[in-house]
């Protein structure tokens, strides 16, 4: 969703967004349509169609908007030394969890039992793309790695996504800063070791 300046447009989109969250929790994302969405928002369908072709375009634009916010964090953060700098790593993870906290109604709902089943995979692919690029800069020499890079990326992103879901399920019982520290401690030594950046006398890299 592009930035709007007209207060009426902003109000309309906020009402539709809130209605989407409420309806998804009540009936599930698959049962949300233009009729019940606009009824929940207190708007008429003509108003909805001024901004969106159909319910699918509306859903995609909401998801794209949320991804843009996350991408902005990754684009403006230096991950080159992520596994080697505790302060920088925790700072970046804190920004991510603050964003998730600020938008927790959306993420918790979409990743929950009544949410969009495809959204979890979309979020995972988003994380894979960003982590793969940043890990390639951290460890460009695949020969030093103990496991293939794509498996490491799959392992790390699945772990982080699982941690995020557990955090939501636990009613965000830790602050974003605390969650950043948890993620760092769970993943840091594992990433370094599997990337071939620590001495490991009991393991060797996989042979081709």
Whether pLDDT at 13 is above 60: yes
Q: For residues 179-197, b (16+ Cβ closer than 10 Å) or e, as one string?
A: bbbebbeebbeebbbbbbe
Give the span between the Cα atoms of 41 and 35, in whole angstroms. 10
Model pLDDT, residue 201: 39
Residue 208: pLDDT band with limits 50, 70, 90: very low
pLDDT, tens digit, for every residue of 21-72? 999 999 999 999 999 999 999 999 999 999 999 999 999 999 999 999 999 9
Phi and psi torsions of 102, nearest 5°: -60, -30
Residue 134: pLDDT band with limits 50, 70, 90: confident
SS3 content of the chain, % helix, strand, coil (to 5): 75, 0, 25
Give the span between the Cα atoms of 83 and 60, in whole angstroms. 33
Whether pLDDT at 202 is above 70: no
DSSP letters of 72-134?
HHHHTS--TTGGG-HHHHHHHHHHHHHHHHHTHHHHHHHHSTTS-HHHHHHHHHHHHHHHHHH
Tell me the whole-structure pTM to 2 decimals: 0.81
pLDDT averaged over every residue in the chain: 85
Model pLDDT, residue 141: 76
Return the SS3 of 207. coil
Which of residues 15 and 201 earns the better pLDDT score? 15
pLDDT, tens digit, for every residue of 60-112? 999 999 999 999 988 876 554 444 467 777 888 999 999 999 999 999 999 99
Burial class (CB in 10 A: 0-12, 13-18, 19+), 14: exposed
The alpha carbon of 110 is separated from its chain's Cα centroid by a whole number of angstroms, namely 11
């Amino acid at each position: 969703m592009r930035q709007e300046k007209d207060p009426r447009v902003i109000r309309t989109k906020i009402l539709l967004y809130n209605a989407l969250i409420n309806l998804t929790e009540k009936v599930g994302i698959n049962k949300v349509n233009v009729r019940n969405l606009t009824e929940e928002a207190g708007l008429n369908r003509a108003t909805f169609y001024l901004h969106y072709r159909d319910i699918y375009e509306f859903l995609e634009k909401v998801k794209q908007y949320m991804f843009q916010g996350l991408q902005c964090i990754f684009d403006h953060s230096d991950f080159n030394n992520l596994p080697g700098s505790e302060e920088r790593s925790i700072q970046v993870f804190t920004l991510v969890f603050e964003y998730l906290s600020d938008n927790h109604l959306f993420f918790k709902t979409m990743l929950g039992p009544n949410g969009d089943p495809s959204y979890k995979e979309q979020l995972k692919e988003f994380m894979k793309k960003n982590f793969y690029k940043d890990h390639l800069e951290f460890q460009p020499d695949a020969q030093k790695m103990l496991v293939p890079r794509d498996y490491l990326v799959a392992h790390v992103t699945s772990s982080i996504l699982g941690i995020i879901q557990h955090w939501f399920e636990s009613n965000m019982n830790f602050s974003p800063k605390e969650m950043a520290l948890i993620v760092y401690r769970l993943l840091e030594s594992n990433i370094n070791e599997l990337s071939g950046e620590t001495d490991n006398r009991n393991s060797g890299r996989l042979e081709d």
